[in-house]
Amino acid sequence: MKHAETVTFGGSGLERAAHLRGDPPPGDVLPIWRGKVLLTEGDGLRAPIFLTPDHPVFEDAVEPAIFLGIDEGVPRYARDISAWEPEDDLGTVGAFFDPSEQRHPEIDIAHVLAELRMNMLRLTPRGAELVATAKALIEWHRSHGFCAKCGERSAPAMSGWQRDCAACGGHHFPRTDPVVIMLITNGNSILMGRSPGWPEGMHSLLAGFVEPGETIEAAVRRETFEEAGVTVGQVGYLASQPWPFPSSLMFGCWGQATSDAITIDPEEIEAALWVTKEEMMAALADENPNMKPARRGSIARFLIENWLADTLD
């Protein structure tokens, strides 16, 4: 695909400096609270805010800071501050769409803790790579606090890129889950689906996890048939996207349908349908009352827009 690495979180060439993880240089730290990132406030471009390691906001942090890499010569870290309990109403925190922003009393009022999905298009490529890396690593530590070999509590090592178990000597490394997301074509149409719990009218491309012992191509065919009953012939790779919600790597693929009858699995999705280019263009222009397209910034939207622009190759 032309422009494949321009997808959101697509990579900005961050120097990850793996050789320094055993003894990294000091640097400032990005706070992350319950998946939310500290950003500048405002309606335009936003930037992640890094604080000094001894800032009061980190007083109650349980785990040490994670070394993200070297950003234009500057060491960057991230640290989880989820133990903080704000006084605000937390009604939308953790929801699929969370427009709320929290202000920590120890942080400059011009900086807010904001949900990444709501702000991913308002970050520079470097800012997006830094926060995606930070969020994915912190989510991994939050869910992998115990050794998978013996069950004892493990501890962070190698500046957050490893967890070690003192009881059995086991070493554990950050997990990334491979997911296929597919642009399935049938003439002038693509296959769109809808999952339960999504906002009203929202549709996206079908997607699913790659299973053990399975190729990406086989996963595209299996998931499409399982979810929509559509068979797929030729399959190809287009682009990938790190998706830190919490820890996926999305493999964007195209597939050519060899059948068009749809039979959904209600355990997998709520609905599926073929959408023509004309119908999709109307949806992107907010002129299709029955369909809201995939979120801007997602690889699904990226693939759809390139399909409409005829820039898939």
- CA–CA dist 82, 71 (Å, integer): 25
Residue-level pLDDT at 96: 75
Q: What tokens were used for 256?
A: 């050519």
Q: What tokens were used for 132?
A: 């995606």
Which residues have a Cβ under 8 Å from the Cβ of 10 and sit 6 or more positions away? Answer: 4, 125, 239, 240, 241
Residues of the chain where predicted confidence (pLDDT) is lower than 50: none
Strands 189-194 and 204-209, how do they pair? antiparallel
Residue-level pLDDT at 19: 98
- CA–CA dist 240, 235 (Å, integer): 15
Residue-level pLDDT at 312: 87
Amino acid identity at 289: P
Residue-level pLDDT at 45: 95
Instruction: Note whether 17 and 95 are within 8 A (CB).
Output: no
pLDDT, one tens digit per residue, over 227-243 is 999 999 999 999 999 99
